[in-house]
Amino acid sequence: MLQIGNTLVSLDLIERRFACNLGACKGVCCIEGDAGAPLEGDEAAYLREILPVIWNGLRPEAQAVIRSQGVAYIDMEGDTVTSIVDGRNCVFTTSDEQGVCLCAVEKAFREGRIPRNKPISCSLYPIRLKNYAAHCVLNYDRWRICRPAETFGRQQDIPLHIFLKEPLIRKFGQAWYDELCLTAEEWQKQAPHHYIG
């Protein structure tokens, strides 16, 4: 672990290579799993606020879930997470003509129709955050569905923390990210053989 401010960062973030390959994985991280995406702060309120903008882009079954229980629920661990359809699909999941899963929130943000992007836990994936009293811990959630991203990341030689630059800055700020990059450079100089790929 590396300490950056009040965070503890897994070495996987600088040693692992990673770059999403939607053509290979089809964005299945939006539909696999047994719970919704974790939400922070005002994210549930924000999702409710932008519903009118993205509503027509949601699947009918997702609209039905939102009508019955809202955009979020409390999971078994007591965390607020996005609502899901049939025990797996995030209600904000859509797909393109090639069958690639997309996020309706991110799509609207990229098109300039809403002011903020999807929840930070989604933007940071496969980094998972765990908050403790003294520290926030950042870990790499290694999952079989992301093997194409690992392969593509190795081919392109893109460290995970570089691939996720934008959401890391969004969450922790530019100064924190700059310190992470400097620390990563020093670590690689001292321990180049630790590269995992």
The one-digit pLDDT tens for each residue of the chain (197 residues) are: 888 889 999 999 988 888 887 666 666 666 666 678 889 989 999 999 999 999 999 999 999 999 999 999 998 888 899 999 987 788 998 887 777 778 999 999 999 999 999 999 989 989 989 888 888 999 998 877 778 788 888 888 889 999 999 999 999 999 999 999 999 888 777 765 555 55
At which of 125, 144, 161 does a domain end?
A: 125
How far apart (Å, rounded) are the C-alpha atoms in residues 75 and 82?
9
Greatest Cα-to-Cα distance within the chain, rounded to the nearest angstrom: 55
At which of 107, 125, 143 does a domain end?
A: 125
Q: Identify whether residues 121 and 192 lie together within a single domain.
A: no
The closest of 28, 64, 65, 13 to 143, measured between CA atoms, is: 28
CB-CB neighbours of 66 under 10 Å: 21
Q: Identify whether residues 61 and 113 lie together within a single domain.
A: yes
Q: Identify whether residues 27 and 120 lie together within a single domain.
A: yes
Q: Identify whether residues 63 and 113 lie together within a single domain.
A: yes
As for how many domains the chain has, the answer is: 2
Place of tokens 């079954």: 61
Q: Identify whether residues 8 and 35 lie together within a single domain.
A: no
- Contacts for 108 with CB less than 8 Å, ≥ 6 apart: 50, 53, 54, 57, 114
The separation between CA 180 and the C-alpha centre of its own chain, rounded to angstroms, equals: 18
At which of 71, 90, 125 does a domain end?
A: 125
The pLDDT assigned to 194 comes to 54
Q: Identify whether residues 29 and 106 lie together within a single domain.
A: yes
The pLDDT assigned to 88 comes to 78
Q: Identify whether residues 36 and 81 lie together within a single domain.
A: yes
Q: Identify whether residues 117 and 42 lie together within a single domain.
A: yes
The residue range of the domain holding 33 is 23-125
Q: Identify whether residues 47 and 120 lie together within a single domain.
A: yes
Find out whether 94 and 31 touch, Cβ atoms under 8 Å. Answer: no
The pLDDT assigned to 105 comes to 94
